[in-house]
Structure 1
Amino acid sequence: MAAGASSRFDGCKLLADVEGSCLLQQRIDLASGLFPEDVYVVTGAWHRELMAARAEKKLAGASFVYVDSWAKGLAASLVAGVEHLERDYEAILVLLADQVALTRTDLEQLLAAFDGNNIACAVYHGKRGVPAIFGAKSFARLKQLKGDQGAKAVLYESAMAVSECPMPNARWDIDSREQLAAWAGRSMY
């Protein structure tokens, strides 16, 4: 998910340099390590800049799905992503582009907890959140989301079993330039 305006960052955080590559490319690389041909980035506010970066070979390894209604909130991006993928996939891993500390081991933990009939999600700060894997049985509920309602609503209201995976790395995200600087110095908030 990479459709937001990054208003607290004052610019396109997705293209911010983090240890030699942009934040979004690092998340693409993380996901493609497990799903080499199946990484999709849902874009919105910064789509033009991301496409320019892709043309300049600063972004690679993913297909891009533009959501023109991105300003309606996170739900619009989730719905567009599900609608784009549901015909071809039995499950969708939702990963936020700004969760800078996630590792392959974190995603493998989700995969191990997912059995096709449940939802597997990260737990951090004592709450369920993304990254999360949603099976096809949860797609209809995801498509009902509205406004700034993210996937947490489905994680807590689902009739499906939810497998929780303790994932402290998921708590680190980049919302501001100060947080990016703190991450670079590893003195995160």
Structure 2
Amino acid sequence: MNSVMHSTSKSFRGLLLAAGKGTRFDPAGTGNKLLAPLPGSDDVVAVAAARAMLQVLPVLAVVSDVDSELGRRLADAGCELVGCDDADTGMSASLMCGIRQAQDAAGWIIALADMPYVQAATHRGLLAALKDGVQIAVPAYLGQRGNPVAFGRSHLDGLLALSGDRGARALLQQFPVNEIPVNDPGIHRDIDTRADLEAR
């Protein structure tokens, strides 16, 4: 694992998971969906996702290579970076890379870099819940849960023990979850295919 800027902050941290391949977007593997220009924006997908979080709290972006174009763009946007060499083994590997790097934080908001339409207000609501002592919080739009997900420090050990490609879903099934109502359809909208970029 390669990293830059080791974090020792006791504040809350944003984790942006940006190490995936996105093979549904480009089966040939030549195009990275996270670097795709976002229609109506000057940013690419991952940077748009990062900027919404950066309005609210410091962000650690988990990438496969900190020296890649994606890494450079996220760093230029203001993210701290950590490289995850085993990201191909599943989302949990990326998540654990980020948690290990920011394990001294008071809690984490975990966001996906292929969800560029999540609003800063949603991150703000999740952060407020963490500051109020909530240990797991998720946003809900029209009664349906979405991403990102917030975890308090009591779940550090559980987050570090995850495996596979289900991310932190197991913890959401095992422990009480506080739903934060938001007016944000972006919590349900990710970029999996090229058509998703053009959808309205």
TM range (shorter): 0.7 to 0.9
Q: Does 2:115 correspond to 1:93? A: no
Q: Does 2:70 correspond to 1:50? A: yes
Cα distance in structure 1, aligned partners of 2:150 and 2:127 = 8
Partner of 2:114, secondary structure, is coil
Cα distance in structure 1, aligned partners of 2:142 and 2:67 = 31
Partner of 1:69: 86
Q: Does 2:104 correspond to 1:84? A: no
Partner of 1:149: 166
Q: CA deviation at 1:30?
A: 0.8
Q: CA deviation at 1:75?
A: 0.5
Residues 124-159 of structure 1, C-alpha deviations (whole Å, 9 max, x = no match): 58664431111111011111111102122111212x
Q: Match of 1:70, as an amino acid?
A: A
Tell me the percent identity. Answer: 35
Cα distance in structure 2, aligned partners of 1:48 and 1:156 = 35
Q: In angstroms, what is the RMSD of aligned CA positions?
A: 2.2
Q: Unaligned 5+ residue runs, structure 2?
A: 1-16
Partner of 1:163: 178
Q: Unaligned 5+ residue runs, structure 1?
A: none
Is contact 1:130–1:151 with CA below 8 Å preserved after alignment? no
Partner of 1:106: 122
TM-score (norm 1): 0.83
TM-score (norm 2): 0.79
Cα distance in structure 2, aligned partners of 1:48 and 1:153 = 31
Partner of 1:21, secondary structure, is coil
Cα distance in structure 2, aligned partners of 1:127 and 1:154 = 18
Residues 88-130 of structure 1, C-alpha deviations (whole Å, 9 max, x = no match): x110110111112211121122123332342111235866443
Partner of 2:147, secondary structure, is strand
Cα distance in structure 2, aligned partners of 1:47 and 1:133 = 28
Number of residue pairs matched by the alignment: 175
Runs of 4+ in 1 over 4 A off after TM superposition: 124-129
